[in-house]
Amino acid sequence: MTLAAGTRIGHYEILSLAGSSGMGEVYRARDKQLKRDVAVKVLPPSVVHDPARLSRFQREAEILAALNHSGIATIYGCVESAASHAIVMEFVEGETLADLLKQGPVSIGAAQSYARHIIDALEFAHDHGVTHRDLKPGNIKITPGAGDGGTAS
C-alpha cells in the first residue's frame, strides 16, 4: 500500500515514494517540527500485527541507531500507530548505485572511490558487531561528488 503525498505519520508529512525494501516502503517526508526532509521506512500493513516482523523491525532500528558513521544513514527515531510502524532516518540525497550502473559503466577511479566508502562503512559496522544482510547496489546511495571524494551511503 503506497502512501499518498500529504499523508501524515506523526509530525512527518509524506512527500513521495523513495523506494521499496524487503521490510517495507521508504518515503521522502518532511519533518514539520524541525523543518527538514527525512526518510520514513514504513512496514507494510500486512505485517503490522506480526510479532516476529515487528521485533525484527525494532532490532533494525536499534542496531542502526547505535552506529554513527558518515556512510551509514542516521536514525532519528521510530513512529508507531495502530495502522503503521515506521523508522525515521536521515534522507540521503543522490541516486542508488543500481540506478547509476543502469546508465553504463563507471570509471575505475569512481568505482574505487565507491568501494573505499562502502568498505569503510561495512568495516565500521562489523567492528560494532553488525552484519549487513542485504547489501546490494539498490541499497547504496551515491551522494553528489562521491566519485570525486564524496560518500557512498
**pLDDT single digits (tens) 8-40:** 999 999 999 998 876 789 999 999 999 999 999
* Predicted pLDDT at 33: 96
In a domain, 2, yes or no: no
| Residue from 31, 37, 120, 134 carrying the catalytic annotation | 134
Q: Are residues 60 and 22 in the same domain?
A: yes
Q: Are residues 140 and 77 in the same domain?
A: no
pTM: 0.85
Q: Which three cell numbers stand for residue 7?
A: 499523508
Q: Are residues 64 and 131 in the same domain?
A: no
Q: Which three cell numbers stand for residue 146?
A: 562521491
In a domain, 59, yes or no: yes
Q: How far apart are alpha carbons 111 and 52 in whole angstroms?
A: 38
Instruction: Name the 3-class secondary structure at 105.
Output: coil
| 127 assigned to active site | no
Structural domain span for residue 114: 95-148
Q: Are residues 101 and 73 in the same domain?
A: no
Model pLDDT for residues 115-124, shown as the tens digit of each residue = 999 999 999 9
Q: Are residues 14 and 60 in the same domain?
A: yes
Q: Residue 3 corresponds to which amino acid? A: L
What CATH code is carried by the domain that includes residue 19? Answer: 3.30.200.20
In a domain, 119, yes or no: yes
